[in-house]
Chain A
Amino acid sequence: MNEPLSDNRLHTDPEIEGFRPIARRDPAVQTAQQRDRATTIYERSVEGRRAFVPPALDVPEQPLDELIPARLRRSEGPKLPEISEPEIVRHYVRLSTRNFHLDEGFYPLGSCTMKHNPKLHERVAALDGFARLHPLQHPSKAQGALELMWRLQGALGEIAGLPHVSLQPSAGSHGELAGVLLTRAYHEDRGEQRTKVLTPDTAHGTNPATVTMAGYEVVKVATADDGGVDVEDLRAKADDQVACLMLTNPNTLGLWDRRIEEIAAIVHDVGATLYYDGANLNAVVGISRPGDIGFDIVHFNLHKTFTQPHGGGGPGAGPIAVSDRIEPYLPRPQVVRRAPENGGEPRFDLDYDRPKSIGRLRGFQGNFGTFVRSYAYIRSLGAEGLREMSETAVLNANYLLAKLRENGVAEHLPAAYDRICMHEFVLSGAPAKRDLKVKTLDVAKRLLDHNVHPPTVYFPLLVDEALLVEPTETETRETLDHFAAVLRDVLDEAAEDPDVARDAPYTTPVRRLDEAGAAKRPVIRQPL
């Protein structure tokens, strides 16, 4: 989740301590991919080439000037590339080979739940009846799509233990914004103007960012020694100005908060809502439900728990489930099932008649294509399979943690909290940095040479040199063993010569990049 700007000066400035070129840094020794300099599609453009052939003009042609006055038009067409289809294919296929991806290998990126994306899902999402369905189609002619949404709402509500679901938000952070705006509407409806929202210091950055966007002040709550919320600190900060506590449980340390009941009681006692950030829901589906604990609002990350392919940065979806007291304020429209008065088949419809609604958060009905995939997933797994999904995710995480203890990795990268974890765990790289002179960033970069995606690094902020590891349930025991062995190798190598990791990676299409320079002198488009 979290990647601070890397300290690339270490690699470009000989004056800085630790800079020592080693043989493997010799630019003359390059892989074929490294020799192949990046060329953009614009640089491949040759005047006169083309891929698109327009359909024939089948209506009487009128002078363009008579249809659109010249002063409203642009002086020349946008300078898009001129390139043939075979060359477009070559270009993007070449680029694709410069991406690491989940279908290629292990991706234990903590808090991101990089589980397998079933191939069936792309097939069903591409059916014409879904893919070419216009969002403003008359509801009577979109019954299958609305039924799918209605069924997905029901399934998510059951999983959350909260009966009312809106599928509209487009990502986790969008669900968070919905949740905080719902909280605002709830309090305003009661004549209350509250000013603060509490977020633990372990929270994802989206939580405090959301709070500000929704017009509240962020108040941070500390973390106790066992990794849970510091209940005394919470008690001290919970007052009648607090609108909401946003909580991730299991939290970003991969730990279930043992004092969750107390926390819920404190929050409800001051009249605030309790918000469940569903980023880590993959640990507890079918095992424990946020609604049963007392959460009022939950968001789901369909692109995490419910396996939407992540697409290199989206699309995702962030549906929300809420309790009865929050229901009147849900975004509109809501998908509803209406039973006809004279009996017969129920009809599915979009309900706009929601006078207390916070309104829309986006156009149309949400990221429907992601609903198709997640619905297919829920139907494939069923109740039992979903529970086994979470059990296996937690089993895999604890097994990997055990392996790291067993093979000695934990000596240099110890678990930040030495207890049974949920679906992910945090290692601290502080001992490795101190004893082996390799930072977490170096370990991560060296993993790239082993064709393994590194864990999330430098998050949560609470843990020094953090590595947040989430293996997910779809990985085999062999893969976990292999990862443990690779980490062991990286540390052994560092013990002999820390520069190996400090100068890594060596085999990737490009090596460490000058991120500081990129931010200082931003080049974010190609001059054409």
Chain B
Amino acid sequence: MSRYTSATDADRAAMLEAIGVASVDDLFADIPEKLRLTRALDLPAGLAEQEVYAHLRALAARNVSAADEISFVGAGMYDHYVPALVDAIALRSEFLTPYTPYQPEISQGGLQVMFEYQTAISELTGLPVSNASVYEGPSAVGAAGYVARTANKRPKFVASAGLHPHSLETLRTMSHGYGTEVVELPLRDGATDPDALAAAVDDDTGAVFLQQPNFLGAIEDLDALAPAAKATGALLVVAADPIPLALLKPPGESGADLVVGEGQPLGNRLDFGGPSFGFFAATEALLRRMPGRIAGETTDVDGRRGFVLTLQTREQHIRREKATSNICTAQALNALCGMVYLAWLGRRGMVELAELLVQRTAYARATLGALDGVALLHEQPVVREFALRLDAPAERVRERCFEHGIDPGLPLEGDGLLVAITEQRSRADIDRLAEVLGAAVREERRERAAV
């Protein structure tokens, strides 16, 4: 018996009679006999709700979440506190269960949230145009590449190695389709080097990709990099972490043409990687090349203020093969969580949060950097994440820390360790990390010395 349906045997009989067929099978008469599945799907039988709940609960219990250990892993997604307010709003049926707002008269709630969200993203990024969300961070970088491709049709992208590896790989996957080559630019002292960038950019370069702060946590000097990136007319794309943007110069003010990024830090849970949302902001000049939904303000026939999906002639359902993107379903509910979170933080709160992260991160960086066998991978200024170099195998050090209920951060190639701080990691947690990490490195070095 199917769950969540209502048709009784009596309903079914009456409905078949109204249709004028003898059986449900007759409704599938168009499907040739040999293309029909003559057996049941090889799947387990259905379960009662409490059985499904128990099964899922058991699976969840086999994961070690950020609630079960002290984790310093970030690298694109961060264990920020998600206020109860966000759940209370996002779980309302009115926001949870509608489709994309194709009928604006009965979708004003969702449309106005999009408008408010676009306004907030413009504030954070320093760019006048924002869409209503894309899937997530790395694919937003890929989408920015496609905008550049359609804007100037040049055959090459230059991407800083400071880009998140997933962004770089996604950009390569997507650009392979339309035949644009991606050239990776190595970092120098943990940051992108303006001279090296200037040398890498030429008339064939369609776009330059930077990340702020970069994958190693370093704040990039966008004012110095932007002129080099744009010297030959390439678009400058900056992938940004939204929380540091409370303090950092908005990339749009430094000359970025597109600012995109992973929205998870804004009120979205970790969810093992998604769903979250990608934000996507652009200059006015690129407005009509934007992917995705955009909400706009207008009036109704009686003069009331209202909101609609606008500039739809960019989109796939109108423009088809000439659309600026194929995106349809995006991440509206996650963007709503982001907007509610930003309203909760508020104008002063977001700055205070970011400043707290800067202070705790500075403390953690100094404390860990002083450990024996641990050095800073770079000395660039950082906001909430920094990279260490261990004089020991990083993967094994991490596993040693696991035994003490600590995840010290993400191991990087060459025995690096990327450490992230959120407001949920206190000084006591950082001190404990220092103790456990110090001991783990010591043990590994001792073992190596013994061999």
> Hey, which chain B residues are within 8 Å of A380, CB to CB?
3, 46-47, 49, 52
Beta-carbon contact of B271 and A92 below 8 Å: no
Q: B395-415 interface mask toward A, CB cutoff 8 Å, 1 = contact, 0 = none?
A: 000110010000100100000
- In the complex, are the beta carbons of A144 and B7 less than 8 A apart? no
**B316 and A420 contact, CB distance less than 8 A:** no
Which A residue sits closest to B353, measured CB to CB?
A: A54
Query: Which residues of chain B (17-47) have a CB below 8 Å from chain A?
Result: 18-21, 24, 26-32, 35-37, 40-47
Q: A40-B115, A141-B63, A144-B61 are in contact. Are A363 and B136 (CB under 8 A)?
A: yes
User: Taking the complex as formed, is A440 at the interface, i.e. its CB lies under 8 A from any CB of chain B?
Assistant: no
Question: B328 touching A124 by the CB < 8 A rule?
Answer: no
Contact status A213-B47, CB under 8 Å: no
Asked if residues B12 and A96 are in contact (CB atoms below 8 Å), the reply is: no
Cβ distance A257 to chain B, nearest Cβ, rounded Å: 8
Task: Report B98-114 residues with CB < 8 Å from chain A CB.
Answer: 98-110, 112-113
Set of chain B residues within 8 Å of A399, measured between Cβ atoms: 15, 18-19
Task: Say how far B420's CB is from chain A's closest CB, in angstroms.
Answer: 10
Nearest-Cβ distance from residue B306 to partner chain A, whole angstroms:
4
Instruction: Find out whether the CB atom of B172 lies under 8 angstroms from the CB atom of A359.
Output: yes
In the complex, which residues of chain B have a beta carbon less than 8 angstroms from the beta carbon of A355? none
A502 to chain B, nearest CB (A): 11
CB of A5 within 8 A of chain B? Answer: yes
B1 to chain A, nearest CB (A): 7
Interface residues on A, range: 35 or more
B114 shortest CB reach to chain A, Å: 8
Residue in chain B with minimal CB distance to A176: B326
Contacts of A98 in B (CB 8 A): 106-109, 112
The residues of A that contact B57 with a CB separation of less than 8 Å are 124, 127, 129
Contact A213 B63 (CB under 8 A): no
Task: Given A74-B249, A208-B320, verify A130-B6 contact (CB < 8 Å).
Answer: no
Cβ of B329 and Cβ of A314 under 8 Å apart? yes
Instruction: Give the contacting residue for B274; candidates A27, A80, A143, A170; CB below 8 A.
Output: A170
Closest to A393 in B: B5
A511 and B46 in contact, given A57-B359, A209-B319 (Cβ under 8 angstroms) = no
Known contacts A38-B305, A136-B410, A315-B331; A392/B94 CB under 8 A: no
Task: Indicate if the CB atoms of A383 and B358 lie closer than 8 Å.
Answer: no
Could you tell me the distance between the alpha carbons of A116 and B7 in the complex, rounded to whole angstroms?
Answer: 14
Bound Cα distance A403, B19 (Å): 8
Q: Flag whether B151 is at the interface (Cβ < 8 A).
A: no
| Contact of A367 with B by CB under 8 A | yes
- Does any Cβ of B come within 8 Å of A181's Cβ? yes
| CB atoms of A74 and B247 under 8 A apart | yes
Instruction: List A contacts of B295 (CB < 8 A).
Output: 524
The answer on a CB contact under 8 Å between B31 and A114 is no
Tell me whether A275 is interfacial, beta carbon within 8 Å.
Answer: no
- CB within 8 Å for A78 and B271 given contacts A96-B95, A173-B316, A526-B119: no
Contact in complex: A80, B350 (CB < 8 Å): yes
CA distance A392 to B1 in the complex (A): 11
Separation of A62 and B374 alpha carbons in the complex (Å): 23
A285 to B37, CA, bound (A): 10
Instruction: Please name the residue on chain B nearest to A260 by beta carbon.
Output: B35
Q: B284-301 vs A: 1/0 string, CB under 8 Å?
A: 000100000111111111
A148 interface contact, C-beta 8 A: yes
Q: Which of B169, B248, B347 contacts A360 (CB 8 A)?
A: B169
Interface size range on B against A:
35 or more
Contact A312 B99 (CB under 8 A): yes
Does B305 contact A145, Cβ atoms closer than 8 Å? no
A122-150 to B contact mask, C-beta < 8 Å, 1/0: 11111111111111111001111101100
Question: Which chain A residues lie closer than 8 Å to B166 at the CB level?
Answer: 360, 362-364
Rounded to whole angstroms, the CA-CA distance of A388 and B349 in the bound complex is 52
The complex places the Cα of A232 from the Cα of B3 at a distance, in Å, of: 43
Give the interface segment out of A82-90, A336-344, A488-496: A82-90
Contact B298 A514 (CB under 8 A): yes
CB–CB A129/B94 < 8 A? no
Residues 66-109 of B at the A interface (beta carbon under 8 Å): 66-68, 71, 73, 75-77, 79, 83, 85, 87-89, 91-109
A81-106 toward B: CB 8 Å interface, digit per residue (1/0)?
11101001101110111111111100
Task: Indicate whether B416 reaches chain A with its CB closer than 8 angstroms.
Answer: no
Known contacts A205-B316, A313-B329, A448-B103; decide if A287 and B36 are in contact (CB<8 Å). yes
Q: Point out the residues of chain B lying under 8 angstroms from A379, CB to CB.
A: 44, 46-47, 52, 55
The residues of A that contact B42 with a CB separation of less than 8 Å are 158, 383
B3 touches A118 (CB 8 A): yes
**Could you say which residues of chain A place their CB within 8 Å of the CB of B85?**
51, 85, 88-89
Instruction: Tell me whether A134 and B124 are in contact (CB under 8 A).
Output: no
Q: Are A50 and B296 in contact (CB under 8 A)?
A: no
Bitwise, B351-373 to A at CB < 8 A (1) or not (0) is 11101101110110000000000
Pair A80/B323 contact, Cβ less than 8 Å: no
Q: Is the CB of A134 within 8 A of B298?
A: no
Shortest CB-to-CB span from B313 to chain A, Å, is 7
Cβ contact within 8 Å between A209 and B321: yes
B160 within 8 A of A: no
Residue of B with least CB distance to A91: B343
Which B residues, 297 to 331, have Cβ-Cβ distances below 8 Å to chain A? 297-313, 315-323, 325-331
Q: Which of A125, A181, A310, A402 contacts B177 (CB 8 A)?
A: A181
Task: Check A73 against B248 for contact (C-beta < 8 Å).
Answer: yes
B214 at the interface (CB under 8 A from A): no
Q: Would A519 and B312 count as touching, CB distance under 8 A?
A: yes
Please tell me if B146 contacts chain A, counting CB pairs below 8 Å.
yes
**B165 to A: closest C-beta gap in Å:** 9
Q: Is B14 positioned at the interface, with any CB of A under 8 Å from its CB?
A: yes
| Complex alpha-carbon distance, A396 and B24, angstroms | 11
Flag A36-49 by CB within 8 Å of B: 1 or 0 each. Answer: 01101110010001
Measured between beta carbons, the chain B residues less than 8 angstroms from A523 are 296-298
Is A225 in contact with chain B by the CB < 8 A criterion?
no
Contact segment of B200-208, B228-236, B333-341: B333-341
Report whether A215 and B178 are in contact in the complex, using a CB–CB cutoff of 8 Å.
yes
- The one of A161, A211, A363 in contact with B273, judged by C-beta atoms closer than 8 angstroms, is A363
Contact B63 A37 (CB under 8 A): no
A170 touches B43 (CB 8 A): no
Contact A77 B89 (CB under 8 A): no
Q: How far is the CA of A360 from the CA of B223 in the complex (A)?
A: 31
Report yes or no: A362 in contact with B135, Cβ–Cβ below 8 A.
yes
Q: Considering the chains assembled together, what is the distance between the CA atoms of A300 and B287 in angstroms?
A: 31
Known: A313-B332, A359-B172, A402-B18. A100 touches B107 (CB 8 A): yes
- CB-CB under 8 A from A53, the residues of chain B are 349
What are 8 A-B residue pairs whose CB atoms fall within 8 Å in the complex?
Answer: A92-B89, A144-B62, A170-B275, A204-B316, A213-B326, A368-B271, A406-B18, A518-B308
In the complex, given contacts A54-B423, A161-B37, A382-B45, what are 11 additional A-B residue pairs having Cβ atoms less than 8 angstroms apart?
Answer: A51-B83, A54-B356, A117-B97, A177-B326, A214-B177, A311-B96, A363-B76, A364-B166, A392-B7, A514-B300, A524-B118
Smallest CB-CB A-B distances: 3 pairs: A311-B333, A129-B60, A364-B273
